[in-house]
């Protein structure tokens, strides 16, 4: 509430005397008046569009190495960012001062960067009529999530129990690590188009890293699970099941032969196998790439860009998936975006700036790591859709090839050239898996591989991931069913 109520339109000279009392520990209706005033100030000075993004974050991570807790890392963050648009240009300023004066100072700095000078003292400041607060924290029952999360004691206990289970299931163990983090975030978006929306997010991840050694033989396998929105995620984790999978994979790879380099047909597993589509194709469909004209898909909308067997989506709606959000960081409700349908490029992934500069409509994809970053077009849950084949049919179609069961790290060039290590691979002979292989690297180029995905099975599975780009690191989902790539370069020995 303001300390004074002005019956006449607010004038610029009156703003320094305004005082507001907003709720310190929650973004609620009390933030309407100060943000409406500041948005009006930005418009009065000549900005075409102004947006405020407010954030409070409560993060903690825990690491168990072998039989000891070796790290607990908490972090509390609060701050705001303001973005100012003038024509096709924009700037972004952030601050950790959430007082009215602090937000006003950040706005004024942004206006100055855009060469927008203050008008005369008696100039009117228009009122920005913000929508009724669209509060996903209240309507989705999220406000009790943080209080319901596990304590530090519980985090440590679960991770130590999990590491003990891994020790029992694995042989030739050299090092065991179990890790967990919980990231709680409250955000408020207010902008001069009337947007006024609040959300609460809870993102959690837990997993193992296992290193085994026997003489000169080595294997290293990791597995990570992720969740949004379930405070009981850690305590409900079936670490025995996860430990069994990790131990089995490490055992298979410990004495595996090195793959022979060459060109092969490849079957890529579901789940985290989708990381190649995310990296080699998904990023090239973001309007940040369209703006820079650094994507081979620049003018390909409506054209065939992939094999007719391939359909792909990006969305923020899958229950508890790592990239699921109720609204993006520009306040737009999320939606499903059909990227590719039967090989035809249908849509791009777009944020507000992307829509303004490229003409591709917003898709609820404006995302950022936090208040120190401006939002940009980013993926959410991105995956290849299930196809019409069984997994058995995919394997039966391969006389000699490679089964990539677990993908590792890799790199992607600005126009889609990629190389990805394969942590767990097997030789396929006459449609059957015959022996484990290690040292495989998949090498290719986005437009090439998209046209070689000739078969998709019907067993789609999603996996959590972390995506870094121009607006920082955000939580995403990758995924796919088992897919067959007719031919790809496999690096090895």
- pLDDT exceeds cutoff 50 at 240: yes
User: What domain range includes position 41?
Assistant: 12-58+76-134
CB 96 within 8 A of CB 82: no
Residues 54 and 96 in one domain: yes
- Residue 280 counted as domain residue: yes
pTM of the model: 0.95
Last residue in a domain, options 134, 155, 179: 134
465 & 339 share domain: yes
Helices 32-45 and 100-113: crossing angle in degrees, nearest 10, is 20
- Residues 453, 415 share a domain: yes
**Quick check: 80 and 52 in contact, CB under 8 A?**
yes
Residues 267 and 413 in one domain: yes
- Other beta carbons within 10 angstroms of residue 262's beta carbon come to 11
Tell whether 399 and 486 lie within a shared domain.
yes
pLDDT digits (tens, 9 = 90+) for 31-61: 999 999 999 999 999 999 999 999 999 999 9
In this structure, is residue 319 part of a structural domain?
A: yes
What does the alpha-carbon distance between residue 145 and residue 110 come to, in Å, rounded to a whole number? 35
Specify the number of domains making up the chain. 3
Residue 140 lies in a domain: no
- Give me the mean pLDDT over the 278-283 stretch: 93
Lowest average pLDDT, out of 2-16, 389-403, 431-445, goes to 2-16
pLDDT at 491: 94
291 and 230 in one domain?
no
pLDDT of residue 7: 54
The mean pLDDT value for 157-178 works out to 98
- Looking up residue 89, the CATH number of its domain turns out to be 3.30.160
Q: On the CB side of 14, how many CA atoms lie within 13 Å of its CA?
A: 16
Spatial separation of the C-alpha atoms in residues 120 and 11, rounded to whole Å: 9
Q: What is the pLDDT of residue 91?
A: 98
The answer to whether residue 3 is domain-embedded is: no
Residue 243 lies in a domain: yes
Asked if residue 71 is part of any domain, the answer here is no
The tokens for 446 are: 């986005």
Burial environment of residue 23 by CB neighbours within 10 A (0 to 12, 13 to 18, 19 or more): exposed
- 340/303 Cα distance (integer angstroms): 10
Convert the pLDDT of each residue in 142-166 to its tens digit: 999 999 999 999 999 999 999 999 9
* Residues 287 and 367 grouped into a single domain: yes
Examine residue 397 and state whether it is found in any structural domain, yes or no. yes
Q: What separation in angstroms does the CA of 202 have from each of 139, 189, 198, 235, 333?
A: 15, 18, 14, 15, 17
Q: What is the CATH number of the domain that holds 171?
A: 3.30.2290.10
Q: Is residue 139 part of a domain?
A: no
Residues 281 and 428 in one domain: yes
Over residues 339-386, the pLDDT tens digits come to 999 999 999 999 999 999 999 999 999 999 999 999 999 999 999 999
- Long-range contacts, stretch 389-394, CB < 8 angstroms, 24+ apart: 389/455, 389/456, 389/457, 389/458, 390/457, 390/458, 391/457, 391/459, 391/482, 393/455, 393/457, 394/267, 394/455, 394/457, 394/482, 394/483, 394/484
């Amino acid at each position: 509430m303001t300390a004074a109520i002005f019956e006449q339109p607010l004038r610029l000279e009156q703003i320094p005397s305004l005082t507001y009392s907003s709720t310190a520990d929650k973004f609620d209706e009390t933030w309407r008046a100060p943000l409406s005033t500041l948005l009006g100030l930005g418009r009065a000075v000549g900005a075409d569009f102004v947006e405020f993004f407010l954030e409070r974050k409560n993060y903690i991570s825990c690491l168990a190495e072998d039989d000891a807790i070796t790290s607990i890392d908490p972090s509390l963050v609060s701050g705001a960012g303001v973005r100012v648009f003038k024509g096709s240009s924009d700037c972004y300023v952030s601050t950790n001062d959430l007082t009215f004066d602090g937000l006003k100072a950040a706005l004024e700095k942004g206006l100055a960067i855009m060469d927008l000078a203050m008008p005369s003292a008696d100039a009117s400041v228009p009122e920005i009529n913000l929508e009724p607060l669209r509060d996903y924290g209240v309507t989705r029952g999220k406000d009790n999530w943080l209080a319901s999360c596990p304590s530090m004691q519980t985090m440590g206990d679960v991770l130590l129990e999990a590491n003990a289970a891994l020790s029992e299931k694995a042989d030739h163990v050299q090092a065991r690590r179990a890790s967990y983090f919980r990231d709680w975030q409250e955000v408020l978006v207010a902008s001069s188009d009337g947007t006024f929306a609040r959300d609460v997010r809870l993102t959690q991840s837990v997993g193992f890293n296992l290193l085994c050694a026997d003489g000169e033989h080595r294997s290293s396998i990791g597995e990570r699970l992720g969740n949004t929105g379930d405070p009981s995620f850690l305590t409900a984790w079936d670490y025995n099941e996860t430990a069994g999978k990790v131990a089995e994979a490490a055992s298979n790879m410990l004495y595996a032969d090195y793959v022979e380099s060459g060109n092969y047909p490849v079957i890529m597993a579901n789940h985290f196998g989708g990381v190649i589509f995310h990296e080699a194709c998904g990023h090239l469909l973001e309007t940040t790439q369209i703006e820079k004209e650094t994507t081979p898909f620049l003018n390909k909308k409506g054209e065939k860009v992939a094999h007719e067997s391939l359909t792909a989506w990006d969305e923020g709606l899958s229950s508890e998936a790592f990239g699921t959000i109720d609204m993006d960081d520009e306040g737009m409700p999320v939606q499903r975006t059909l990227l590719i349908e039967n090989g035809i490029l249908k849509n791009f992934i777009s944020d507000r700036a992307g829509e303004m500069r490229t003409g591709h409509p917003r898709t609820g994809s404006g995302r950022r790591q936090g208040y120190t970053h401006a939002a940009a077009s980013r993926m959410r849950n991105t995956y290849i859709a299930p196809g019409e084949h069984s997994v058995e049919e995919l394997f039966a179609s391969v006389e000699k090839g490679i089964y990539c069961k677990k993908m590792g790290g890799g790199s992607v060039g600005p126009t889609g050239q990629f190389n990805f290590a394969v942590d767990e691979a097997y030789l396929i002979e006459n449609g059957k898996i015959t022996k484990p292989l290690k040292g495989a690297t998949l090498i290719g180029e986005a437009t090439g591989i998209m046209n070689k995905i000739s078969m998709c099975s019907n067993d789609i599975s999603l996996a959590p991931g972390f995506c870094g780009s121009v607006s920082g690191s955000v939580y995403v989902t990758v995924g796919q069913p088992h897919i067959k790539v007719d031919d790809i370069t496999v690096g090895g020995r």
